[in-house]
Amino acid sequence: MRRAAVGALLPLTLLLAGCSGAGADASSDTARISAAQVTLTPGDNASEVPAQGGVQATVRDGRLTQVTLKDDDGHAVPGTVSANGASWQPTGKLLPETRYTLNAVAVDKDGLQAAKHASFTTFVPKNTFIGFYNPVDKSTVGVGFIVSIRFNRAITEQAAVLQAISVTAKPAVPIAPHWFGAQRLDFRPQKFWTPGTVVTLALNLRHVEGAPGVYGTQQKSITFTVGRSQISTADTDSDTLTVVRDGSTLRTLYISAGGPGHSTYDGTMVISEQDQVTRMNSATVGLGSEYDIPAVPHAMRLTDSGTFVHGVYWRPASVFGSQNTSHGCIGLYDVAGGYSDSTPAGWFFDHSMIGDVVRVVGSDGDQVAPDNGMSGWNMSWADWTKS
């Protein structure tokens, strides 16, 4: 196939108009008109032109020598001319909601040129998608934070969407994406973030086709900072929670973890929410009507499935450090109301932030799944970078 643009053009022969000079030969001012007849699809000022199949240039009694299709910013859409030079079609997709200009030049058998021009606008998408992201702009997070984007529609064109999203860090560090199914995309470095790192998530999804006929709408940039390192270890054998900040132990607290039949997940989890008080209802986690507590204090979510570190005021202080009695959460002694910062739960709440790491060891429960909250640290780097 021949490319659309084919070198320099011959001077365009114009039809002369008006009166000739005194004494001139009348036959000398009769211009020759090209026999080539160029047709452009769509016509000038057309609208709602589709992304594919709605644009072409054709010629009768001649061959195309140059065709250009550009948007208002000057970005060209590639295309090819047929072997006989009679038609041209774009090989790239057109963007939605965009104005394009189509110009074509052809020559007839005598080398005389004909030209055609058209401007048109493309369709407004009827189906769109957006990504719900977890970092809050200008926030400070812990070293275990994983950037997670959850799309409201299944993404089948994952390569195109991934190309339109970037996560970068200062100082620079390798950051890799991982797809969990068709609607979730996470980003993390190989190891926990270094304190002080500034991370930027850029979503350039406007006009990106995430699935056939489904286009993105977002154009956003979100920046957050990684704060101090806090990594806490919950040992369900000793019933303790040891809080280590920047390499030094801040405090060891007594806990009550998952009891018989309800073991706490093992592995590395990350605080994703903090609520002064929250309602916990067993029906929402598949445990029927075992409990419904309307105001659980100092609640810090670890998994999407409902694992929390939270305050417990309905059991005596003697339980903590000696018995595992929960339905899988990590309980700390507390008082009702979520206002006290002097209880173990209140202290841990006040000394924690979203993105802080909580590791569970000693549990006979299953290891937490990498897509259950910000638990991707339980996947090896080799497995993480496979997709």
Catalytic residue flag (residue 327): no
Evaluate the CA torsion angle 210, 215, 221, 227 in order and state its sign: negative
160/41 Cα distance (integer angstroms): 28
The most distant pair of C-alpha atoms in the chain lies apart, rounded to whole Å, by: 121
Catalytic residue flag (residue 329): yes
Joined tokens for residue 156: 């089948």
Annotated catalytic residue, options 75, 310, 327, 351? 310
Joined tokens for residue 341: 């910062």
40/100 Cα distance (integer angstroms): 13
295/159 Cα distance (integer angstroms): 44
Q: Are residues 82 and 1 in contact, defined by beta-carbon separation less than 8 angstroms?
A: yes
Residue with tokens 């812990």, as numbered in its chain: 142
Annotated catalytic residue, options 207, 298, 327, 329? 329
Closest CA to 309 of 383, 367, 252, 241: 241
Our measurement of the distance from residue 176's CA atom to the centroid of its chain's CA atoms, rounded to an integer in Å, reads 13
- Catalytically active residues are 310, 329
